[in-house]
Amino acid sequence: MELQAKVWRDQHRLEEARSELLRAADVYKKLGTAEDVERCGKFLHDIEEKLNAPVASGESGSSCELL
Query: Residue 57 has what pLDDT?
Result: 57
Share of the chain above pLDDT 70, in %: 81
State the pLDDT confidence band at 56, using cuts at 50, 70 and 90. Answer: low
DSSP for residue 11:
T
**Would you state the torsion angle of the CA atoms of residues 6, 47, 23, 31, taken in this order, to the nearest 10 degrees?**
80
Query: Residue 53 has what pLDDT?
Result: 87
Q: Where are the domains of the chain?
A: 2-52
Residues 21-43: tens digit of each pLDDT: 999 999 999 999 999 999 999 99
Report whether 45 contacts 9 (CB < 8 A): no
